[in-house]
Amino acid sequence: MVAVSVDITPQQAWQRLADGNERFVHGTSSHPNQDAPRRAALVDTQHPFAVIFGCSDSRLAAEIIFDVGLGDVFVVRTAGQVIDDAVLGSLEYSVDQLSVPLIIILGHDNCGAVTATRDAVETGTMPAGFVRDLVERITPSVLTARRNGVDDVNSMVEEHVQQTAGRLVESSRVIGKAVEQGRVDVLGVTYRLADGRAEVVSKF
């Protein structure tokens, strides 16, 4: 797969996503870049202008809520937008090989993974199987929120989005260097299920 450098700033990339989200919120989505010519044009190349690392929740379909199409965004998803080695590798690929100027960390209200983590912290009972791994990785965000007097899940989601963005920059030398050089911005964004609006809550 050949990558083509995208001549767009992080700010312009976010504006493009914000404009698409505004169309989605108001029910005027244009569904760009979803036709046969676009599909054919992407057979041997891709040049996404942003990477979106979001929760796997079925209600959080990134291409839909930001009204973008094929080849526009590079999407990585895990439950509770939890970082692991595969996520780091995928995000580093998007920055190093695809020259994407913007990384979005996308969380949402009423997140099941954050709710499960809050419940585990409150009851002291951990879930079984690999769900336990998700809860363990989200626990620092929930504990920080509780120390700050926050008990509601949606505020904990916001804290988790912010911590995830910071952890990403700290954990990845590739991404951290790109941020330091001003080539890449990392934005923490939360999405409201009821009205479909995405809002920035942190920036690196």
**64 lies in a domain?**
yes
Collapsed DSSP state (helix, strand, coil) of residue 84: coil
Those residues with Cβ within 8 angstroms of residue 44's Cβ, 6 or more apart along the chain or in another chain: 1, 2
* Section 155-184 average pLDDT: 96
Q: How many domains does the chain have?
A: 1
Residue of 78, 74, 102, 119 whose CA lies nearest to 178: 102
**132 lies in a domain?**
no
**94 lies in a domain?**
yes
pLDDT, tens digit (0-9, with 9 covering 90-100), for 31-68: 999 999 999 999 999 999 999 999 999 999 999 999 99
**122 lies in a domain?**
no
Sign of CA dihedral 34, 36, 37, 42: positive
What are the tokens at 2?
């050949």
Provide the CATH number for the domain around residue 183. 3.40.1050.10
**75 lies in a domain?**
yes
**126 lies in a domain?**
no
Residue 67: its H or E element = none
* 185-191 and 73-78 strand pairing: unpaired
pTM of the model: 0.94
**2: pLDDT confidence band, cut at 50, 70 and 90?**
very low
Distance CA 32, CA 16 (A): 12
Q: Which domain holds residue 48?
A: 2-109+165-203
**142 lies in a domain?**
no
**143 lies in a domain?**
no
Residue of 36, 104, 31, 95 whose CA lies nearest to 69: 31
